[in-house]
A and B are shown apart, each in its own frame.
Chain A
Amino acid sequence: MMQPARHSALPGFNLTFGITLLWLSLIVLLPLAALILRPWELGLAGVWHSITEPRVLASLRLSFGVAALAAVVNVPFGLLVAWVMVRYRFPCRNLADSLIDMPLALPTAVAGIALTALFAPKGWIGALLTPLGIKVAYTPLGILVALIFVGLPFVVRTLEPVIMDLPLDSEEAAATLGATRSQIVRRVVLPALIPALLAGFGAALARGVGEYGSVIFIAGNMPMISEIAPLLIVIRLEQLDYAGAAALGLVMLLVSFAILLLLNLLERRIHQRT
């Protein structure tokens, strides 16, 4: 299948390609083959039945719905942070920049218990919200908070290089043509950022759908209400329902794949424009 199209003077193709293919096959392809093949032990009807159970549908709806909502919230948040980080200079900017990566560096279980402690009725933020009648921990709202936390860096880091590369002279040109600053932002800056905003949205969404560690502590995990799809996979495994777990995993993987594909298409679109 894979052959060098032309030989190069540099050595090592066979060795490195062999190692790569072997490692990829053992660590990625073989396991994913199991994921793709095992659900069908249930038969087509069985798979259908297994992924259309009300509890499964509820969990899928929750996972994708809240992940999408969190990604939507993260678009303005990410835009704000990225804009300020790239365009403005303020004290402790480098510190703030490192902080943005915190959700990616912090183990998800740590993030999970920290957010739970923060938003629990007696937590620092929870105590402020309880009098207002807002319950965050152990509700779908908690899942939203966790996914906003996890997804923010994806939007910020996708936007930053694009904002950095925005040509200042097109903003200046707009100004010489009589545009006000807010017109420039709306008509020149934002349109140029739309592909990156979509890409960041997609990346945050894809991450949110599969997220587990930071969510399960704060979610409450009530079936039909705050039970995410990955948790249902774990539950099915505990019941030794491998095929059912694999079926649910496959559905999630296919949707994630679709998102990845969309991302690639978007990225290509961005490259075509520039």
Chain B
Amino acid sequence: MNLSATQESPAVRVGLTALTVVLLVTLLLLPLAVVFTEALKHGLAIAADALVAPDAIAAIELTLIVAAISVPLNTVCGLAAAWCIVRFRFSGRGLLITLIELPFSVSPVISGLVWILLFGANGWFGPAFDRAGIRVIFAIPGLVLATTFVTFPFVVRTLIPLMEQQGASEEEAALTLGATGWQTFWRVTLPNIRWGLLYGVLLCNARAMGEFGAVAVVSGHVRGQTMTMPLQVEALFNDYDWVGAFTIAGLLSMLALLTLVVKAALEWRIGSRGGPLL
């Protein structure tokens, strides 16, 4: 006999919890376990060798370079966008928010495709850039552009609800005390949003380093030159070099795990759930 109005009977509760744990373990934990098992199948030494292979090192370097360019760009622009969207009311504001979130609803492949349409051999600007000797597609600029497109909304999206919730009164107080706009930003706004900003940057970075579809389209797959880590994973996997593929995949998984840990810590810090990663 179940006496509680707001709870299921203990048996149902245990059953549902068990079902959830089984579901989470099979669907979410097993894939992660497979990555590390496959990577270490032939021992740590072989996995370590795969990690220091010249192509692997080049892929790691390229991934870091791409993220190091697109993440700061999106951070600065995300801050600017959040400031004007949250602190001002203007016509077209809703449209602006929709447009900023657009990249999230676009297939990664399309996010790469659009840059080929602009800068590819048959693209609008491709031939002109080619004549000027600037390679965009199948080179680092293309990878950066595709990554920036895909990660564009992360920072703004985290900051908008945070800044709305905090309100403008501290900034207004700073103004009445004689602070300039920049002083207000550096001394009042930025310290107040720093954890939220870090959260957005973290998500942006995780996606920038892990993006596959968009960069796959613009990369050209030149080994040792235009292969980021996820692309290197694909190439090794298709070569049946499973240890190599899963070793780099393991490295990316550790990045993902780190992201989740820092995310949990930041959510605790911000004092509320930051919502889904996307």
Contact = CB atoms under 8 A, between A and B. Distances in A.
Direct contact of A and B (CB under 8 A): yes
Interface of A: 1-6, 8-13, 15-17, 19-20, 23-24, 27-32, 34-35, 38, 77, 80-81, 83-85, 87-88, 90, 94, 96-115, 117-118, 123-125, 148-149, 152-154, 157, 160-161, 168, 171-172, 174-176, 180-181, 184-185, 206-207, 209-213, 217, 230-231, 233-234, 237, 240, 242, 245-246, 249, 252-253, 256-257, 259-260
A252 B110 contact: yes
A117 B77 CA distance: 40
A107 to B, nearest CB: 3
Given A27-B145, A149-B27, A16 B83 contact: yes
Nearest to B115: A31
Given A19-B76, A106-B252, 18 more contacts: A11-B181, A13-B87, A16-B84, A17-B90, A19-B81, A23-B80, A34-B124, A35-B113, A107-B249, A109-B233, A109-B234, A111-B31, A161-B273, A207-B278, A210-B109, A212-B108, A212-B216, A256-B107
Q: Is the interface of B mostly helix, strand, loop or mixed?
A: helix
Closest 7 CB pairs of A and B: A210-B107, A107-B210, A175-B5, A31-B114, A11-B181, A213-B212, A212-B213
Contacts, number: 319
A149 B84 contact: no
Given A10-B87, A108-B213, A234-B217, A152 B27 contact: yes
B97 to A, nearest CB: 11
A107 B230 contact: yes
Contacts of B92: 1-2
Contacts of A213: 108, 212-213, 216, 230
A98 B266 CA distance: 12
B23 to A, nearest CB: 6
Given A107-B230, A210-B108, A34 B210 contact: no
Interface residues of B, number: 107
Secondary structure at chain A's binding surface: helix, strand, loop or mixed?
Answer: helix
A246 B113 contact: yes
7 contacts: A1-B91, A13-B87, A13-B90, A17-B88, A83-B16, A148-B27, A249-B107
A12 B181 contact: yes
B233 A99 contact: no
A25 B278 CA distance: 22
B212 A107 contact: yes
Given A3-B91, A12-B185, A80-B20, A103 B28 contact: yes
Contacts of B19: 80
A69 to B, nearest CB: 16
A88 B96 CA distance: 40
Contact of A253 (B76, B110, B210, B278): B110
Nearest to A29: B99
